[in-house]
Amino acid sequence: MDVFQEAEGLQQVPMFNKLDPAKLKLLAFTSEAVSWKDGELLCRINEPSNTVFVILEGAVEILGTVRGENVVLFTKARHELVGEMAVLSNAPRSATLRAKDNLRTLNISNDAFLKLLTENSTVSLNVMKQLSDKLALSTRALEVVKTEALA
């Protein structure tokens, strides 16, 4: 996959779809395309956050711990973004991310992602909307996990 194809992939990500094509190409050029084997870990909970992952192919499982075992809380698929919450809050990872279905990602560094947000209000607004949606989903998932843990 070349920079032009990666830029086209970025255009399919809802929070980037209004970004100027030249900026998408620059973002693709400054990012790293990575292939992951099924079951391979992208990052572990509590690790430092240094990357935002754009899913180009395959899926990412977001894992949490219930009664000492890893369980899949969510699965994110093609054209979705993962890892941005930790980057934005400059906090350790809040979950473990695991590759599924021969995952391919475009890895965006902290600095590049934060620069993109500060220079593009439309992208920033899209990120805020997506984070609000993720927070609502996470809250609902937490309630399910609590209920299962008490059962």
Range of the domain at 110: 33-150
Contacts 24+ apart (CB under 8 A), 124-131: 126/14, 126/15, 126/16, 126/18, 127/15, 127/84, 127/88, 129/15, 130/14, 130/15, 130/81, 130/84, 131/84, 131/85, 131/88
Number of domains in the chain: 1
Percent of the chain with pLDDT over 70: 97
**Is residue 112 one of the residues assigned to a domain?**
yes
* CATH number, domain containing residue 69: 2.60.120.10
Q: What is the pLDDT of residue 20?
A: 85
Per residue in 70-104, pLDDT (tens digit) is: 889 889 999 999 998 888 888 999 899 999 999 99
Quick check: 74 and 123 in contact, CB under 8 A? no
Give the phi and the psi of residue 145 in degrees, each rounded to 5: -60, -45
> Model's pTM, two decimal places?
0.83
**Is residue 21 one of the residues assigned to a domain?**
no
- Six-digit token pair at 57? 């192919």
Per residue in 117-151, pLDDT (tens digit) is: 888 888 888 888 888 887 887 788 777 767 776 76
Q: What is the pLDDT of residue 151?
A: 66
**Is residue 5 one of the residues assigned to a domain?**
no
**Mean pLDDT of the region 29-54:** 94
